[in-house]
């Protein structure tokens, strides 16, 4: 990551959630913050702002700890919020808190305890407000490129597969406002699925730690552009003319490349 970031002269880094395994952070003094973040990403080229979303594993710990300014004081690179917007010169990034959408964490949590204390005043209202805010922000956005980032998959052939709640509630908003990319983690793989009906691309980058070998379901080859069941990461290079996507293995080898210029006229 350090070598690729240096060559690309990156501006910032995005984490797609599940920032701390297996059960988030216990508090702002949890040593896992150093063990899994501060002491890991030490390359000079990675000393940039990190924008982080929460994953389901993060919700198993103290959520407020990850959102706390105390962590920013420990490491100024760290920034984590539930849902927020990053507006750059060329692209607007819409970060979405996807974990509360998933019913199973509420109806069948198994042995896990989730920290839902921040879903104010209740889950239904929280999600309704989140979707209304996203819909409004996308509607007024003048950005050349609109990119939505969340932890959970919308479309995936990996272990978790499609997140049906996001398909039903979030996807229509993205399609209605011409979102270009949805970037997620959750499935421990690298993956690129292209929508068959819009220009929207589903990009999974969830292979930063453990990966799930051979855990893949069949998918329409016209939509499945790339799937890798090993470890790695991805980059986005954004200009006014195009967005270039690249996936890398752990040694920095290029596994897959794609550009918005590859879209057909009908998709655009």
Residue 151 among known ligand-binding residues = yes
Residue 21 among known ligand-binding residues = yes
Alpha carbon dihedral 28, 29, 31, 32, in 10-degree steps, equals -10
Residue 105 among known ligand-binding residues = no
Residue 177 among known ligand-binding residues = no
State the SS3 of the chain. CHHHHHHHCCCEEEECCCCCCCCCCCCCCCCHHHHHHHCCCCCHHHCCEEEECCCCCHHHCCHHHHHCHHHHHHCCCEEECCCEEEECCCEEEEEECCHHHCCHHHHCCCCCCCCCCCCCCCHHHHHHHHHHHHHHHHHHCCCCEEEEEECCCCCCCCCCCCCHHHHHHCHHHHHHCCCCEEEECCCCCEEEEECCCCCCEEEEECCCCCCCCCCCCCCCCCCEEEEECCCEEEEEEECCCCEEEEEEECCCCEEEEEEHHHCCCCCC
Residue 129 among known ligand-binding residues = no
Would you call 160 a catalytic residue per the annotation? yes
- Cα atoms found within 13 Å of the Cα of residue 73, Cβ hemisphere only: 6
Residue 29 among known ligand-binding residues = no
d(CA 145, CA 92): 6
Out of 57, 160, 177, 192, the active site residue is 160
74 touches 38 (CB < 8 A): yes
Numbered residues of the known binding site for Fe cation: 18, 21, 56, 151, 186, 188
**Which residues make up each annotated binding site?**
18, 21, 56, 151, 186, 188
- Active site members: 160
């Amino acid at each position: 990551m350090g070598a690729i970031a240096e060559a690309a002269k990156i501006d910032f880094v995005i984490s797609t959630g599940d920032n701390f395994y297996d059960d988030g952070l216990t508090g702002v003094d949890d040593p896992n913050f150093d063990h899994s973040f501060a002491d890991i990403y030490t390359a000079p080229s990675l000393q940039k702002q990190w924008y982080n979303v929460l994953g389901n594993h993060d919700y198993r710990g103290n959520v407020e700890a990850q959102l706390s300014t105390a962590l920013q004081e420990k490491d100024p690179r760290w920034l984590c919020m539930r849902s927020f917007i990053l507006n750059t010169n060329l692209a607007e990034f819409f970060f979405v808190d996807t974990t509360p959408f998933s019913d199973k964490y509420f109806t069948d949590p198994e042995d896990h305890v989730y920290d839902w204390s921040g879903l104010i005043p209740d889950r239904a209202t929280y999600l309704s407000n989140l979707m209304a805010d996203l819909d409004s922000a996308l509607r007024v956005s003048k950005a050349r490129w609109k990119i939505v980032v969340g932890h959970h998959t919308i479309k995936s052939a990996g272990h978790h597969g499609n997140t049906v709640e996001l398909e039903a509630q979030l996807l229509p908003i993205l399609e209605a406002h011409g979102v270009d990319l949805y970037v997620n983690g959750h499935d421990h793989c690298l993956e690129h699925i292209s929508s068959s009906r819009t220009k929207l691309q589903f990009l999974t980058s969830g292979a930063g730690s453990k990966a799930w070998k051979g855990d893949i379901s069949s998918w329409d080859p016209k939509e499945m552009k790339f799937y890798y069941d090993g470890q790695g990461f991805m980059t986005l290079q954004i200009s006014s003319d195009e967005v270039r996507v690249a996936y890398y293995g752990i040694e920095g080898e290029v596994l897959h490349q794609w550009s918005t210029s590859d879209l057909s006229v009908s998709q655009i």
